[in-house]
């Protein structure tokens, strides 16, 4: 099969389907600039997408939402900012013998300026190549005054069984426990992170790569530019409070997010920032 990129309708959303000659594929929605599916060559679906997701009516539960210019409720903007509910445009698409790549773009408009008074351009580039996925976010300050932002690629990984998952690579790094009381920092002391309850940890200045093992094999998780890692799973009670997730779905997903949140990124006029997350099937 030849590599290709086609425009599709995905649950009513305009999207691009990327595919490679080796049969890797991905679906990238223009709504939110959100990757909604990634199937590596000879592999299974690697991203969780809720069967109860709402498409085009608020945030889409699953895939890789782009959080910008605010992470979670760390400010006065809508949760996780407005990029995940904005309509992006296609800036570039390219295929080669063994890869497919697409870039989506989002720029300020009257609605964004009413919420956040800064001209900006965002570009999200998604590239698939055999067993590898690269996501790169570029932020350009296209205005005349400085601005600062927080951001994340809020990656929802699909896992076979959460309690079988083992995450390596966070040993020794400091984190803020977003479920705990107070602002104190803790230090990860385990060789591997296991999942047997709700978790919402914001690790700082993590030197990667991370390694996630579950029943279905191992996934390497690397990043550049994003200093932080968020690990989130709502577990049973949290899941029950999320109306766009089926009741036991917390066992099928794990968010490991490339983030820039513990310190805001400041950009002067015309300055550019890049952050990248890479997932590799091992
Ligand atoms: O439900 P959402 O607004 O998409 O947020 C989902 C989750 O995002 C991040 O992982 C935060 O650390 C969590 O605290 C939050 O619950």
Q: What is the pLDDT of residues 139-185, one digit of tens each?
A: 999 999 999 999 999 999 999 999 999 999 999 999 999 998 767 89
Average pLDDT rounded to a whole number, residues 216-234: 96
**pLDDT value of residue 181:** 72
Sequence-ordered list of residues with C-beta below 8 angstroms from that of 214, at least 6 positions apart, any chain? 159, 160, 161, 164, 165, 166
Per the CB < 8 A criterion, the answer to whether 169 and 256 are in contact is no
For the annotated catalytic residues, the residue numbers are 154, 257
The minimum-distance atom of ligand 1 relative to the CA of 257 is: 10
CA of 257 to the centre of ligand 1 (A): 10
The pLDDT assigned to 217 comes to 85
pLDDT bracket for residue 117 (50, 70, 90): very high
Do residues 253 and 158 lie in contact, with contact meaning Cβ atoms separated by under 8 Å? yes
Nearest ligand 1 atom to the CA of 242 is 1
| 181: number of Cβ within 10 Å | 6
* Closest ligand 1 atom number to CA of residue 79: 3
As a whole number of angstroms, the distance between CA 130 and CA 176 comes to 35
Nearest Cα to Cα of residue 260 among 167, 137, 171, 164: 137
pLDDT band at 121 (very low <50, low <70, confident <90, very high): very high
List all residues whose CB is within 6 A of at least one atom of ligand 1.
59, 72, 79-80, 178, 200, 230, 232, 255
Q: Whose CA is nearest to atom 5 of ligand 1?
A: 72
Predicted local distance difference test score (pLDDT) of residue 269: 98
How far, in Å, from the CA of 270 to the mean position of ligand 1?
31
Domain 4-281 has CATH 2.70.98.10: yes
pLDDT of residue 38: 98
Cα angle vertex 259, ends 254, 261, to 5°?
125
Q: Which residue of 82, 200, 228, 229 sits with most ligand 1 atoms within 8 Å of its CB, as the best mutation to test the pocket?
A: 200
End-to-end CA distance of the chain: 23
Domain-wise residue ranges, the chain: 4-281
How far is ligand 1, taken at its centre, from the CA of residue 72, in Å?
A: 6
* pLDDT average, residue stretch 49-65: 97
Ligand 1 midpoint to CA 4 (Å):
33
3-state SS, the chain, equals CCCEEEEEEECCEEEEEEECCCCCEEEEECECCEEEEEECCCCCCCECECCCCCCCCCCCCECECEEECCCCCCCCCCCCECHHHCECEEEEEEECCCCEEEEEEEECCHHHHHHCCCCEEEEEEEEEECCEEEEEEEEEECCCCCEEEEEEECCEEECCCHHHCEEECCCCCEEEECCCCCCCEEECCCCEECCCCCEEEEECCCCCCEEEEECCEEEEEEEECCCEEEEEECHHHHHHCCCCCCCCHHHHEEEEEEEEEEEEEEECCCCEEEEEEEEEEC
């Amino acid at each position: 099969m030849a590599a290709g990129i086609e425009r599709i309708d995905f649950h009513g959303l305009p999207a691009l389907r990327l595919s490679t000659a080796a049969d890797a594929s991905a679906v990238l929605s223009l709504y939110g600039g959100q990757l909604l599916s990634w199937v590596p060559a000879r592999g299974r679906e690697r991203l969780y997408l809720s069967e109860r997701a709402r498409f085009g009516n608020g945030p889409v539960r699953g895939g890789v939402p782009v959080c910008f210019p605010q992470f979670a409720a760390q400010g006065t903007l809508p949760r996780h900012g407005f990029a995940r509910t904005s309509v992006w445009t296609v800036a570039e698409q390219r295929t080669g013998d063994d890869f497919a790549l697409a870039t989506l773009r989002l720029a300020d408009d009257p609605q964004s300026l009413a919420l956040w008074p800064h001209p900006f351009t965002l570009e999200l580039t998604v590239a698939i190549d055999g067993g590898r996925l690269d996501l790169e976010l570029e932020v350009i300050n296209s205005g005349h005054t400085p601005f600062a932002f927080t951001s994340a690629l809020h990656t929802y990984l699909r896992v076979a069984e959460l309690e079988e998952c083992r995450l390596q690579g966070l040993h020794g790094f400091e984190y803020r426990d977003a479920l705990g009381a107070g602002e104190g920092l803790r230090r990860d002391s385990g060789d591997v992170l296991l999942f047997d309850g709700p978790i919402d940890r914001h690790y700082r200045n993590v030197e990667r790569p991370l390694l996630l093992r579950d029943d279905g094999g191992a996934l390497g998780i690397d990043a550049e530019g994003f200093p932080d890692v968020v690990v989130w799973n709502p577990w049973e009670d949290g899941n029950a409070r999320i109306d766009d997730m089926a009741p036991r779905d917390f066992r099928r997903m794990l968010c490991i997010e490339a983030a820039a949140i513990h310190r805001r990124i400041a950009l002067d006029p015309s300055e550019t920032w890049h952050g990248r997350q890479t997932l590799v099937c091992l």
